[in-house]
Amino acid sequence: MGRSGAPGSVPAVEARNIAVRWWWRERPKGEWRLALAMVCPLVGILLGLMAYPLVSALYMSVTDKTIGSRGGYVGLSNFLQLAEDSIFRQTVGNAVVYTVVAVTIKTIVGMGLAVALARVGERGGTVRALILLPWVIPISITALAWWWMFDPMFSVINRGLRALGLAASGIPWLGDPFWARVAVILVNVWRGLPFFATVFLAGLLSIPRELYEAAETDGAGPLESFVRITLPLLRPVLSLVILYSVVMTVADFEIIYILTRGGPVNRTHLFATYAFQVGLEGTLIGKGAAIALFIFPVLAGASYFTLRIIRRGEEYA
């Protein structure tokens, strides 16, 4: 009773006792407790590695923090400054072009590749394994190889083009704003295509052959079968892959950082590379966080729809 002197302490103690009793009564028991113990580390890791950086970035984006200083609260000032920042506006345009063009090409070519592989059937096992190579090798290594292939002096691509008589003076791959965009999109497509083709192929192989046979009996041609059977049945897979790819492409960093560092004339900067330049190289970490967070709504929307598609797929399964 030694603490009873503090005003309001009795109800507080009672409330605590009620809470403790409730917790004791409702505490996880048996296997449920074991399950909880096993899940907790994962939740901890997710909170530490995903939630904390996100909350930290959100906080920094509303401060004028520079490297090593705490910074003060500035509200939405960083975001408003970005609206006036011509390099940032250029970056938004770059991200749209990069994502739309790369994902479109990957979808079309990936579908074509998947259809071709499906026709080859079991004989194409080696080819299937080989086309996965670009996707499984770390991009930091392959991007360096591409960088060398685009080198103005020693480009093997230019040498090939010259030998074929297609470009007498070679193409300034990384030196010209237009060709630099072509180059980074090309590498992104090369990298992502195997993923598209493999997932599409899995989707194609899961479509019952009877449907095609029935369509053929009814007089449908290959194109009609593709439009009326393949595409509708592949739609969940297609949507999932496209949305996933949008997330990965718009947030790309390595390809740009290694090949162009955002140049020439900022024509290949994406949010991640510009955020890195402003936040770490330029030390304006508050503004850098604001740039990085600008894509957050896009990524959150894409993630939401991806999850919905996955859930719908589970319902149908």
Partner 1 sequence: MEKVIRIDGEKVLTRREFLKAAGRAGAAAIVGYSFLAKPAGGAPARSVSMIHWSHFVPAYNPELERQVTEWSARRGVTARVDFVAYRDIPAKLAAEAESRTGHDVVQLRVFDAALYRRHLVPLDDVAQELERESGPWLPLARYLAFLEGRWYAVPWYYWSFPATINREHWARIGMGPANVAALDWNALLEAAERLHRQGTPVGMAISQTFDANDALYPLLWSFGGRTVDEKGNVIIESAETAAAVEYAKRLFRFMPREVLGWDDAANNRFILAGVGSWTPNAPSIWAVAKLQNLPIAGQIDHVPMPRGPKGRFRSASTLALGVWSFSPNVELAKDLIRHLLRPGNYARQVEASMGYNQPFLSKLSQHPYWRNEPVLRFYEPVREQLTVPGWPGPAGEGAQLVYTAFIVPLMFAKAVTGEMSTAEAIRWAARELRARYRR
Contact 260, 268 (CB under 8 A): yes
User: Could you tell me the two tokens for 232?
Assistant: 């509708």
Each as own residue / partner, the long-range contacts of residues 76-81 (CB below 8 Å, 24 or more positions apart, any chain) are 78/286, 78/287, 78/289, 78/290, 79/290, 79/294, 81/287, 81/290
How many angstroms separate the CA atoms of 272 and 88, rounded?
11
66 binds partner 1 (CB under 8 A): yes
User: Could you tell me the two tokens for 246?
Assistant: 């949008």
Q: Residue 180: enclosing H or E segment and its boundaries? A: helix 177-205
189 binds partner 1 (CB under 8 A): no
216 binds partner 1 (CB under 8 A): no
Interface positions, 129-168, toward partner 1 (CB under 8 A): 151-154
Q: Out of 71, 124, 134, 172, which residue is the one contacting partner 1 (CB under 8 A)?
A: 172
Q: Out of 130, 265, 307, 310, which residue is the one contacting partner 1 (CB under 8 A)?
A: 265
Task: Give Cα separations from 32 to 26, 97, 157 (angstroms).
Answer: 11, 50, 60
Stretch of residues binding partner 1 (CB under 8 A), selected from 83-91, 108-116, 159-167, 215-223: 83-91
71 binds partner 1 (CB under 8 A): no
How many angstroms separate the CA atoms of 246 and 152, rounded?
31
End-to-end CA distance of the chain: 62
Stretch of residues binding partner 1 (CB under 8 A), selected from 9-17, 126-134, 236-244, 263-271: 263-271
82 binds partner 1 (CB under 8 A): no
Of 239 and 283, the one with the shorter C-beta distance to partner 1 is 283
Stretch of residues binding partner 1 (CB under 8 A), selected from 60-68, 125-133, 195-203, 220-228: 60-68
Q: Minimum Å distance from CB 112 to partner 1?
A: 32
61 binds partner 1 (CB under 8 A): no
260 binds partner 1 (CB under 8 A): yes
Q: Minimum Å distance from CB 96 to partner 1?
A: 18
Of 8 and 138, the one with the shorter C-beta distance to partner 1 is 138
Nearest partner of 237 among 317, 120, 128, judged by Cα: 317
How many angstroms separate the CA atoms of 39 and 36, rounded?
5
Contact 110, 196 (CB under 8 A): yes
68 binds partner 1 (CB under 8 A): yes
Binding positions for partner 1, rule: CB under 8 A:
30-31, 34, 66-69, 81, 85-87, 151-154, 172-177, 180, 260-266, 276-285
